[in-house]
Amino acid sequence: MTLAELSAYDRAAFVRTLGWIFEDSPWVAERAWDRRPFGSLDELHAAMTHAVAEATEGEQLALLRAHPDLGTRARIGDASTGEQRGAGWID
């Protein structure tokens, strides 16, 4: 999929596609949708982080709490595993 195709998605399809990215908090993608079209991945990322920055304190706390506790043996999702591996935190 290209960014042009992603930008052309309706809100529901956009959220289905990207809603998992921020710890399975689809409200981030839903709010970022309003900032389409995206000319680059950096613009998409900025739209999503802007959605978090503009969220209520309660929404931000819920997002942080949804992140797996890396100090436990709890199973984390594939996306989080890849993120942690890329950062060099797990093998």
Architecture of the 3-86 domain: Orthogonal Bundle (1.10)
Contacts of 54 by beta carbon, 8 Å cutoff, 6+ apart: 31
User: In the structure encoding, which two tokens stand for residue 55, read together?
Assistant: 């969220």
| Residue 10 pLDDT level (bands cut at 50, 70, 90) | very high
User: In the structure encoding, which two tokens stand for residue 12, read together?
Assistant: 């529901």
Q: Where are the domains of the chain?
A: 3-86
Catalytic positions, please?
A: 67
User: In the structure encoding, which two tokens stand for residue 41, read together?
Assistant: 């991945």
User: In the structure encoding, which two tokens stand for residue 44, read together?
Assistant: 């998409």
Write the DSSP assignment of 37-78 as a string of letters. --SSHHHHHHHHHHHHHTS-HHHHHHHHHHS--TTS-----H
Compute the average pLDDT of residues 39-43.
96
To which residue do tokens 């093998």 refer?
A: 91
Mind listing the pLDDT tens digit for each residue in 43-89?
999 999 999 999 999 999 998 888 776 666 556 667 766 776 776 65
Compute the average pLDDT of residues 26-30.
96
To which residue do tokens 């797996």 refer?
A: 68
* Cβ proximity of 40 and 21 under 8 Å: no
Q: What is the pTM of this model?
A: 0.71
